[in-house]
Chain A
Amino acid sequence: GESVGLHLPTLSVQEGDNSIINCAYSNSASDYFIWYKQESGKGPQFIIDIRSNMDKRQGQRVTVLLNKTVKHLSLQIAATQPGDSAVYFCAEPSNTGNQFYFGTGTSLTVIP
């Protein structure tokens, strides 16, 4: 089955710096990925998605990069703010497309 892993389960950055959160996936046929943010005590919240026909997608202060050659995607957060402190998950669909597999998450701490 698929596995979605995350490098570095914890990450600390200074406020104002850029953050990079990485994710490795194993299913080369995966054609869609989603990043979620989960703040303490809350449910995960959608940040951004990307399809496999794209290498890069930008949102508000976030950019997702997809490298299909090495089956790796990353989430970049520009000018990290204290409100960005959370756990970040990447997710990819199953072969059937009826469910998603989530990684274990990376905990981002922003240091004021």
Chain B
Amino acid sequence: DAGITQSPRYKITETGRQVTLMCHQTWSHSYMFWYRQDLGHGLRLIYYSAAADITDKGEVPDGYVVSRSKTENFPLTLESATRSQTSVYFCASSDFGSKGSYEQYFGPGTRLTVT
């Protein structure tokens, strides 16, 4: 199916465990992003990637690791999950200006609970 997908949609994990959230897009967009959404904070950028093998930190990168070996995939790993990482995580992709628009296409989100 065309679009942007995230998996899993829901995840409960324990403090200290490693968790990987997956993101896949079928548009061959160059840019991909990971956000977290918490009440009172809106959407905050964790990491972004301008192309395969190019990643950069966003506003709140601590405790997270990303990789992008293929254009279509952008996994986000919590190396040792903490309760403060309980949140809803959104992945997004974009052409980012290549056609005059900076519209980001968001996935459906992953609701992560760390106990």
Q: Size class of A's contact patch?
A: 10 to 19
| CB <8 Å contact, A49 and B108 | no
A38 to chain B, nearest CB (A): 8
| CB <8 Å contact, B106 and A43 | yes
Q: CB-CB < 8 A to A41: which residues of B?
A: 108-109
Asked whether A42 is an interface residue with its Cβ less than 8 Å from the other chain, the reply is yes
**How many contacts between A and B, using CB within 8 angstroms?**
48
Q: CB-CB < 8 A to A44: which residues of B?
A: 43, 90, 104, 106
Q: CB-CB < 8 A to B35: which residues of A?
A: 102
Q: CB-CB < 8 A to B92: which residues of A?
A: 43
Given A42, A46, A105, which contacts B42 in the complex, CB threshold below 8 Å?
A: A105
Q: CB-CB < 8 A to A49: which residues of B?
A: 101-103
| CB <8 Å contact, A89 and B33 | no
Q: CB-CB < 8 A to A46: which residues of B?
A: 103-105
Q: CB-CB < 8 A to B104: which residues of A?
A: 44, 46, 100
Instruction: Give per-residue flags for A29-70: 1 if the beta carbon is below 8 A from chain B beta carbons, else 0.
Output: 000101000000111111001000000000000000000000
Q: A42-B108, A43-B108, A44-B90 are in contact. Are A99 and B58 (CB under 8 A)?
A: yes
| CB <8 Å contact, B109 and A89 | no
A64 to chain B, nearest CB (A): 14
| CB <8 Å contact, A89 and B42 | yes
CB contact list, B56-74 vs A, under 8 A: 56, 58
List the 3 shortest-distance A-B pairs measured between CB atoms, nearest first.
Answer: A43-B106, A104-B42, A102-B43
Q: Can you name 17 extra interface pairs (CB under 8 A) apart from A98-B50, A104-B40, A104-B41?
A: A34-B102, A34-B103, A43-B90, A43-B106, A43-B108, A43-B109, A44-B106, A46-B103, A46-B105, A49-B101, A97-B97, A98-B48, A98-B96, A100-B45, A102-B35, A104-B42, A105-B42
